[in-house]
Structure 1
Amino acid sequence: MTTLVIGANGQIGKQFCELAQQAGTPIKAMIRSDEQVPWFKERGIDTVIADLEGDFEHAFEGCDQVVFTAGSGPHTGPDKTLLIDLYGAIRAADIAKQKGISRYLMISAIRAENPMEAPEKLRPYMAAKFAADAHLRNSDVPYVILKPGRLTDDAASQQFASSIDEAGDNQISRANVAHALHFALQSSVSNQEFALLDGERSIEEVIK
């Protein structure tokens, strides 16, 4: 069962791809250009060139599941938020339905549940995630939505919490998100959503 990784060249995407490759989990990394190929080739990871802002339906060929880790990033404007975080995720869900994909795993955000409660500059991004998540829920494609808090570059502790009250903070390392995503992919969970924060519990306790 091969999984298409959309956003494979991102900070979470690369860490997830490495974990999957090390575990022998079959994946295909969707990247935007030939310049991004060497990093994946060095690690023995299959790639496909496709762009969320263009035609990417061909990337789904031979894949049974989809992981969406793509993001427009903090240094882009609302135009990229709309095209990548919102419309890109929606188009991916529509293609997944058309192709009969067995599961779609989405990296969202904990504040996407209430975009107006996010810091003002993050509200357009959270609103995009809110709408993309809603579309996925109603797409008839089995899904898992992971909702991390504020992302950091800390090393993986592989210890988690599932609420801000439990964690005492609103942050999680990208490395921990990658581990949680890989665990969710290997599990049989479906049509469920999980908040993810750094904490003191194993991922098995958080994702059931």
Structure 2
Amino acid sequence: MKILVIGAHGRVGQRIVNQLNDNGDDVLAGLRDEKQFNTFTGAHITPTLLDIQQITVADLTQLMTGADAVVFSAGAGGGGYDRTMLIDLDGAVKAMQATEQAGIKRFIMVSAMGTGSRATWADAIRPYYAAKFYADHWLINDTNLAYTILRPSTLSDEAGTGKITVNAQDKLEDGAKTVSRDDVAKAAVVALHDDKTIKQIISFTGGDTAIETAVDSLG
């Protein structure tokens, strides 16, 4: 399987790229700066220049043509709310438009737990949640893509356990468990290869169920 990862230099994106490589998939690692190309050494990884904030839909379509799937894991990462709108929202929509124009069906979106309910958005980062909300809304309602939306809880850099708990309520409550970025990446890889996740929103925390089992129980 040939997969374009948009946001490949992010802390989740890097893990997705490396885990796909370990899985034997061919990976186009979308990076916004050529200086980042030496981040990856895997045999199945091809770094490619992709600044999602600046690229046109036409150029992005050309870049991804021939891929089997797209993973969107880009984000402004606290770089200001202007960039959040241009990357987390407009960048995501550009990626969806290009994916459809390239004739690709499979699309994995890395979103955030609680995105679906305005009542639970933290005041300090409401613009972030708004960007995620409308990007997810576009994916669900304005495309014909075979999507999976991943909504992890608060992320940590702890070593992955390979286990999660699916949260059907999609509510990020005080005291909710964090989830390792390793495990978010694994969830993306597992979901990508399991058609039961198509048209599914998967909200999850760290937990006690093997990711493969949790994902396979959907649908």
Normalised to the residue count of structure 2, the TM-score between the two structures is: 0.88
Contact 1:4 1:59 in 2 (8 A): no
C-alpha distance in structure 2 between counterparts of 1:48 and 1:193, whole Å: 29
C-alpha distance in structure 2 between counterparts of 1:122 and 1:207, whole Å: 29
C-alpha distance in structure 2 between counterparts of 1:140 and 1:102, whole Å: 8
User: Which sections of structure 1, spanning at least 5 residues, go unmatched?
Assistant: none
C-alpha distance in structure 1 between counterparts of 2:69 and 2:118, whole Å: 28
Match of 2:103 among 96, 100, 103: 100
* Residue in 1 that maps onto 2:71: 67
C-alpha distance in structure 2 between counterparts of 1:204 and 1:174, whole Å: 16
User: Which sections of structure 2, spanning at least 5 residues, go unmatched?
Assistant: none
Contact 1:49 1:59 in 2 (8 A): no
How far residue 99 of structure 1 moved from its aligned partner, in angstroms, is 1.3
* Residue in 1 that maps onto 2:129: 126
Flag as ranges the 4+ runs of structure 1 deviating above 6 A: none
Match of 1:203 among 211, 214, 219: 211
Identity of aligned residues (%): 34
SS of aligned partner of 1:129: helix
SS of aligned partner of 2:76: coil
Match of 1:109 among 100, 108, 112: 112
Normalised to the residue count of structure 1, the TM-score between the two structures is: 0.93
C-alpha distance in structure 2 between counterparts of 1:37 and 1:192, whole Å: 33
Superposition CA RMSD, Å: 1.5
* Residue in 1 that maps onto 2:52: 52
How far residue 16 of structure 1 moved from its aligned partner, in angstroms, is 1.1
C-alpha distance in structure 2 between counterparts of 1:89 and 1:10, whole Å: 15
Given the alignment of the two structures, is residue 182 of structure 1 paired with residue 192 of structure 2, yes or no?
no
How far residue 156 of structure 1 moved from its aligned partner, in angstroms, is 0.2
C-alpha distance in structure 1 between counterparts of 2:86 and 2:124, whole Å: 18
